[in-house]
Amino acid sequence: MVDTHAHLVHTDFDEDRGEAIRRARAAGVSGIINVGFDIASSRRAVEQAERYPGVFAAVGIHPHDAATWCDDSSRELEKLAVKISVVALGETGLDYHYEFSTRLEQMTVFRAHVRMARVTGLPLIIHNREADDDTLQILQDEADGEVEGVFHCFTSDRVFAHRCLDVGFYLGFTGIVTFTKSSELREIVSGVPMERLLIETDCPYLSPQGSRGQRNEPSRVVEVARTIAEVRSSSVEEVKEVTTGNALRLFPKMQPKESHLP
Ligand code: NI
């Protein structure tokens, strides 16, 4: 399995980051994408990816942190993006639920990420909350079909799921699919083509149903695979295998350099 969205950079892992990675490996997780949310955490994501086998980095500025964007930011990101361990740009996107940064700041920063993805060829990890139309509009304006990526932690509706699939993007699902009340989301999961599904934890957030309220960690991505298998009436093994293949296809810089990937 690949946990395609984990924030190992979070201070919640400062005490036991190595242990959490070992537990993930023991649970069958062969790859983890460690996702930055601002320049400092993106730098840490790269350092950690260079240190721990099987860990890769995504660099970018989260819509919550869009207000931190300055003249140096794109230069800094460009410097990080060429590192061997960096497999994606993100997380980036739009969050109109919290609006911790203004919509204009978020749009400016998201546009810059899409342009950078186009130039570097790196896939995008997109965060979208209550901003479906603007997110797709910016993708269309700036990417023009030349950028690949994932809508991470997908929680929009079925119609939007199809619009994302239509522009060639993958959909990433977290422990939210395991929540008792998430029947609508499970319905969506059952209808997405298997070859466009990715699994992720978004740890330390979003622990699956059985461990809600606790800190989440990459080993629990197996719970997401289990629920997806249940709703699609397929085997867990098949979900693990196909989603791993999907991750390696979308994030080609993860391709096995050594023995730590399948
Ligand atoms: Ni995240």
Separation of alpha carbons 156 and 47, rounded Å? 33
Residue-wise pLDDT tens digits, 29-55 = 999 999 999 999 999 999 999 999 999
Domain at 138, CATH number: 3.20.20.140
pLDDT of residue 176: 98
The rounded Å distance from CA 8 to ligand 1 centre is 10
Q: For residue 184, how far is its CA from the centre of ligand 1 (angstroms)?
A: 22
- The alpha carbon of 94 and the centre of ligand 1 are apart by a number of angstroms equal to 12
Structural domain of 172: 2-254
Asked whether residue 191 is assigned to any structural domain, the reply reads: yes
Confidence class for position 259, pLDDT limits 50, 70, 90:
very low
Rounded-to-integer distance, Cα 246 and Cα 252, Å: 10
CA–chain centroid gap for 145, Å, is: 20
Please report which confidence band the pLDDT of residue 169 belongs to, taking 50, 70 and 90 as the band edges.
Answer: very high
Whole-number Å distance, alpha carbon 152 to ligand 1 midpoint, is 8
Digit-coded pLDDT (tens) for 17-29: 999 999 999 999 9
| Residue 126 Cα to ligand 1 middle (Å) | 9
Give tens-digit pLDDT for 187-228: 999 999 999 999 999 999 999 999 999 999 999 999 999 999
Rounded distance from Cα 35 to ligand 1 centre (Å): 7
pLDDT of residue 144: 87
- Residue 258 pLDDT > 60, yes or no? no
Give the model's pLDDT for residue 71.
Answer: 85
Question: How many CB atoms neighbour CB 259 within 10 A?
Answer: 9
Task: Answer yes or no: is 113 within a domain.
Answer: yes
Q: Provide the number of structural domains found in the chain.
A: 1
Residue 166 C-alpha to ligand 1 middle, in angstroms? 23
Residue 200 Cα, ligand 1 centroid: separation in angstroms? 10
Judging by beta carbons within 10 Å of its beta carbon (0-12, 13-18, 19+), is residue 82 exposed, middle or buried? exposed
In angstroms, rounded to a whole number, what is the distance separating the alpha carbons of residues 40 and 37?
8
Distance in angstroms (rounded) separating the CA atoms of residues 222 and 137: 34
Quote the DSSP letter at residue 98.
T
Residue 158 included in any domain:
yes
Give residue 100's pLDDT: 92
